[in-house]
Structure 1
Amino acid sequence: MNHVPPPPLAPPLAPPRTPRRRQRLLHWFRSRSLRSRLTFLSAAAVAVAIALSALACWFIVEKQLYDQVRTDLANATLPPGPRVPLLCYPTAEQALANQPTGLTSENGSAVARDTQFVKANPTGVCLPPNATKAIVVQPGDTAGFKLKNGQSIIRDGRFTDGTPAVVRISLTHSLSGPALLMVATSTQPVEDSLQGLAILLGSVSAGGILLAAVAGRLVARSSLKPVDQLTDAVEHIARTEEVGTTIPVNGHDEIARLSTSFNSMSTALANSRERQTRLIADAGHELRTPLTSLRTNVDLLIRSNDTGRPLPAATKTKLLGNMKAQMQELTVLIGDLLQLSRPDTPKSGPAPTVVALHELAGRAVERAKLRGPGLVFETDTEPWYVHGDAAGLERAVINLLDNAVKYSPPGGTIDVRLHRGVLTVRDHGPGIPPDELQYVFDRFWRSPSSRQLPGSGLGLSIVAQSVREAGGEVTLGPAADGGPGALATVRLPGGPAPE
């Protein structure tokens, strides 16, 4: 059994290059500047529009000129039958090559040179005397023998020398038997006119595209000038870190909106940096006092130990008590700073849960009673459930109660009410002067009349932040009945039943 070798493997087909070229073209286009891309796109759009307009114009003119030639040929009066003998040959080329000269018609005028006769029997092409052109006969011209009187066929053709022409074919009986009368009009002038029109349209199109590119460059430069200003401002901020820089805004278009948004962002960054700087300065100022007191007490204890002169037990106990109080104050202050360091956005804290506000208020009141043992707490709460951070809301309520305990006179009364989502805490202390109400929720702000009392000025700021994160609002003002004391009001959305 003969072994037949397998056929050779065909070479692998080369991968198509079109996607790679397209990718390289896209990469090149995207690597250009925005100004260059706008210039290119505007010039390309104008070029396409001009090219389409030029082509449409050329085709319209071409159709009009050829229609005019065909109309003139169709309406032309046919020449009379020949008055002189005609020599006929099998083909138009032979008839033209063997044409005699010097023959004229009987009326003294030569037969039209763009006219010829085609006989069917015997087959031949007959030209008039002095003819210099012959029309190329096509196989389909024999259909003219079926025409009736007055009918004609008009088609595109050419002369034997290659000149284009429009040919009219009709049936005549002027010769010995039926024959085709072929009359042709040269369309070379039309071709020349169309060629000149094409050159003219091409030149105009090229000039238009060039002007479009220049105009596109100018338009792109003018349109992107605000973007350049924005870029300069951003680079200036990145280089100098001077937030708050703004750019002029002109108009109401997309660039103006972008400029306005940038100015708002820059102003917000400047305000944020200012608040951060003020927070650091205020925190440093508040931390300095307890740290200085702690350092003084520690130095006193170390000095008494180094000198061998121990402090009296009562004095030492007082110093240790003061140090403990200062440590507690530092702990509270640091906790408040951590609470306020979170961004003022709902997503920055823990996930909201269903919180029983009435239970939370009850626990806060019990803790407040420990801090104000001589005060009277009158509580009236209804069930109310909200969505928020339970720890943050509880701390907010505790801070309101601590504030009321701090400013209440000995044996005073603190009213706590919760009705349909409105929590009120009212004390009977000195109240808040009207000119200081606008500052009560600012960080580290403390009334000049209460600077001798303990506190960091962060409690009400934490209240405002926690209530705002829960979707509510808080206000602090004088008592509604006109009596002494201050009234804090917290409004939180929710319902009397958990959802």
Structure 2
Amino acid sequence: MKPTGRLTGWYRSRSLRGRLAMLTAAAVAVAIALAAFACWFVVRDRLYDQVRDTLKGAPPGLAGPQQKFVSCDISAKTALDRAVAAAKAAEEADDRPFPGGYNGYKWNVQLLAADGTTCFPLSSERAIRTSPSDLDVLGTHQVSYRDGEYVDGESAMVRRSAVTLTVDGVTRQYVQLVPASTESVQTSLRELAFVLMGVAALGVVGAGFTGRLVARSALRPVDQLTDVVEHIARTEEVGATIPVHGSDEIARLSTSFNSMSTALLNSRERQTRLIADAGHELRTPLTSLRTNVDLLIRSDDTGRPLPAATRAKLLGNMKAQMQELTLLIGDLLQLSRPDSARPPQALAVVALHEIADRALERARLRGPGLVFNVAVHPWFVHGDAAALERAVINLLDNAVKYSPPGGTVDVSLLDGRLSVRDHGPGIPPDELQYVFDRFWRSPSSRQLPGSGLGLSIVAQTVRDTGGEVSLGPAADGGPGALATVRLPGQADPPH
């Protein structure tokens, strides 16, 4: 494995708090390092600018007075002596060619001839080491600066300029080198570097502790979320929530988790209620079937067969109970599936009035003594024909079941509004909120056949089609209940 891969693996193995602390410390360390480097370079440039400003006050073309030069030809020394004498005379006559006066004692001047001959003061240990590039200023009026050093190794900044000396009619050019020591500057820069490194080190250590504190404070909601998740995983007690503060990303995460936990709790409660209700509804037909089967087996075992009419009636009851059980299981399967697990619906433009006519034919067979007042007008909707037909049949079955013998059922379809009204006992106001719940049945109608799933299927189908369904008392205040379904569509068939 490459070192980069090992470093990445080690970093990923750290906790989130540790990684956040390390990133914070690294960011602060980089910022401190950049600031320290910038500060050092700014101070260095400023100090060297001060040395350069000092060198600008050096004499532009004359050596200092009373300086004795060695290692130079006699004519050069004579010229220097005359130049010094002229400078002193000008100073005495108050004819100041140099602003602020001329102080030759301040400078340690050194001359460099064109052939490389060096003229320097008698104290040769303060001589400047020359460079071949120094001769580049000959014949120019430019003044340049370079880094150099004395012969004893002390660092210096050197000002270079061209001077012309004429002795006995002979003119010669020299390079005048004026040094200024930079040892104090370099010492100050070294001390500043040590100070900055110390400050940077303290800053990095402080950034590490600060990053740790920041990570602990910032990740406290995450720790609470983790504790709740671990508690749910350990105890399987869904529904636990955590407090939400603010509106940042952590708060949004906490809100989403609370919503998910509440949704899981509601889902588990619905699942528990579905299982309990299904067990309750399945117990009745299964008990009846077991009783009838036991009766048939006992009659055969005792050798006393049941009369043919009784046996036929018993088998008919068993068949009806099996059919009821089959319908109940089918309804349970349809309602228990989540939306993602349901088979795709065959959506198409269907004639709702034709579906209502077919459902009415079946309703008339189930309520032969009832009178049906029908006013159905064309209406076309976009949906699943089979699901819509089952929903309409369930509405009509509900009306048939609660209608008194010889009663009337009113069915109308106009402008997408399908209404089914019976003239039975109606629904008490305190029970209206439960009519579309699964397995809910009014206490006064528990002796009637049914599973309590019909209206739940109606509500689900209507919602899937984009409509609305309601069930309440009759609009005219008379007896019975009125079921109303509103579905989007159009009265004319689509082209």
Give me the TM-score of the superposition, normalised by structure 1.
0.86
Give the equivalent residue in structure 1 for 2:137: 144
- For the pair 1:135 / 2:124, whether they are aligned, the reply is no
User: Residue 53 of structure 1: which of 35, 39, 49 is its match?
Assistant: 35
- For the pair 1:467 / 2:449, whether they are aligned, the reply is no
Kindly provide the CA deviation profile for residues 18-66 of structure 1, in whole angstroms up to 9, marking residues without a partner as x.
xx44444333322322112211211111111111111111111111111
User: Residue 317 of structure 1: which of 294, 312, 315 is its match?
Assistant: 312
Kindly tell me: are residues 246 and 308 of structure 1, through their superposed partners in 2, closer, same or farther at Cα, counting changes over 3 Å?
same
| 8 Å CA contact 1:290, 1:326 repeated in 2 | yes
In the alignment, the residues of structure 1 paired with residue 347 and residue 117 of structure 2 have an alpha-carbon distance, to the nearest angstrom, of 108
Give the equivalent residue in structure 1 for 2:81: none
- For the pair 1:350 / 2:344, whether they are aligned, the reply is yes
- For the pair 1:116 / 2:116, whether they are aligned, the reply is no
In the alignment, the residues of structure 2 paired with residue 24 and residue 81 of structure 1 have an alpha-carbon distance, to the nearest angstrom, of 68
| 8 Å CA contact 1:114, 1:183 repeated in 2 | yes
- For the pair 1:32 / 2:14, whether they are aligned, the reply is yes
2:33 maps to amino acid: A
1:246 maps to amino acid: T
In the alignment, the residues of structure 2 paired with residue 291 and residue 238 of structure 1 have an alpha-carbon distance, to the nearest angstrom, of 37
User: Residue 87 of structure 1: which of 70, 76, 96 is its match?
Assistant: 70
| 8 Å CA contact 1:111, 1:128 repeated in 2 | no
User: What secondary structure, in the 3-state scheme, does the structure 1 residue paired with 2:413 have?
Assistant: strand
What aligned pairs does 1:375-386 form with structure 2 within 5 A after superposition?
A: 375-386=370-381
Kindly provide the CA deviation profile for residues 162-207 of structure 1, in whole angstroms up to 9, marking residues without a partner as x.
3322112234456744433221001111111111111111111111
| 8 Å CA contact 2:121, 2:127 repeated in 1 | no
| 8 Å CA contact 1:118, 1:124 repeated in 2 | yes
User: What secondary structure, in the 3-state scheme, does the structure 2 residue paired with 1:210 have?
Assistant: helix
2:126 maps to amino acid: K
In the alignment, the residues of structure 2 paired with residue 54 and residue 379 of structure 1 have an alpha-carbon distance, to the nearest angstrom, of 92
Q: CA deviation at 1:480?
A: 1.7
- For the pair 1:168 / 2:162, whether they are aligned, the reply is no
Task: State the percentage of identical aligned residues.
Answer: 67
| 8 Å CA contact 1:467, 1:474 repeated in 2 | yes
Kindly provide the CA deviation profile for residues 134-161 of structure 1, in whole angstroms up to 9, marking residues without a partner as x.
112222322433245xx63333332233
In the alignment, the residues of structure 1 paired with residue 57 and residue 459 of structure 2 have an alpha-carbon distance, to the nearest angstrom, of 98
Give the equivalent residue in structure 2 for 1:396: 391
Kindly tell me: are residues 449 and 407 of structure 1, through their superposed partners in 2, closer, same or farther at Cα, counting changes over 3 Å?
same
Kindly provide the CA deviation profile for residues 62-95 of structure 1, in whole angstroms up to 9, marking residues without a partner as x.
11111111011103456754546532259xxxxx
1:426 maps to amino acid: R
What aligned pairs does 1:95-244 form with structure 2 within 5 A after superposition?
A: 114-120=108-114, 123-148=116-141, 152-173=143-164, 176=167, 177-244=172-239
User: Residue 476 of structure 1: which of 437, 451, 471 is its match?
Assistant: 471
User: Residue 446 of structure 2: which of 427, 439, 451 is its match?
Assistant: 451
Give the equivalent residue in structure 2 for 1:96: none
In the alignment, the residues of structure 2 paired with residue 387 and residue 213 of structure 1 have an alpha-carbon distance, to the nearest angstrom, of 64
Kindly provide the CA deviation profile for residues 441-469 of structure 1, in whole angstroms up to 9, marking residues without a partner as x.
11111112211211111111111112122
Kindly provide the CA deviation profile for residues 270-310 of structure 1, in whole angstroms up to 9, marking residues without a partner as x.
11111111111111111111221222222222222222223
User: Residue 51 of structure 2: which of 61, 69, 84 is its match?
Assistant: 69
Q: Unpaired segments of 5 or more residues in structure 2? A: 74-87, 90-102
Kindly provide the CA deviation profile for residues 344-402 of structure 1, in whole angstroms up to 9, marking residues without a partner as x.
x3773323411332222221111111111122223233333333332222111110000
2:50 maps to amino acid: Q
Q: CA deviation at 1:479?
A: 1.5
In the alignment, the residues of structure 1 paired with residue 143 and residue 33 of structure 2 have an alpha-carbon distance, to the nearest angstrom, of 39
In the alignment, the residues of structure 2 paired with residue 144 and residue 452 of structure 1 have an alpha-carbon distance, to the nearest angstrom, of 121
How many residue pairs align between the two structures?
463
Kindly tell me: are residues 347 and 492 of structure 1, through their superposed partners in 2, closer, same or farther at Cα, counting changes over 3 Å?
farther
In the alignment, the residues of structure 1 paired with residue 133 and residue 330 of structure 2 have an alpha-carbon distance, to the nearest angstrom, of 105
In the alignment, the residues of structure 1 paired with residue 274 and residue 189 of structure 2 have an alpha-carbon distance, to the nearest angstrom, of 82
In the alignment, the residues of structure 2 paired with residue 21 and residue 141 of structure 1 have an alpha-carbon distance, to the nearest angstrom, of 50
Q: CA deviation at 1:216?
A: 0.9
Give the equivalent residue in structure 1 for 2:79: none
In the alignment, the residues of structure 2 paired with residue 346 and residue 483 of structure 1 have an alpha-carbon distance, to the nearest angstrom, of 43
1:260 maps to amino acid: T
| 8 Å CA contact 1:169, 1:180 repeated in 2 | yes
| 8 Å CA contact 1:400, 1:460 repeated in 2 | yes
User: What secondary structure, in the 3-state scheme, does the structure 1 residue paired with 2:363 have?
Assistant: helix
User: What secondary structure, in the 3-state scheme, does the structure 2 residue paired with 1:117 have?
Assistant: strand
In the alignment, the residues of structure 2 paired with residue 435 and residue 263 of structure 1 have an alpha-carbon distance, to the nearest angstrom, of 32
Q: CA deviation at 1:316?
A: 2.5
In the alignment, the residues of structure 2 paired with residue 390 and residue 61 of structure 1 have an alpha-carbon distance, to the nearest angstrom, of 86
Give the equivalent residue in structure 2 for 1:99: none
| 8 Å CA contact 1:113, 1:132 repeated in 2 | no
User: Residue 256 of structure 2: which of 261, 268, 271 is its match?
Assistant: 261
Question: Mean alpha-carbon deviation: is it higher for 364-373 or for 318-327?
Answer: 318-327
Q: Unpaired segments of 5 or more residues in structure 1? A: 1-16, 91-105
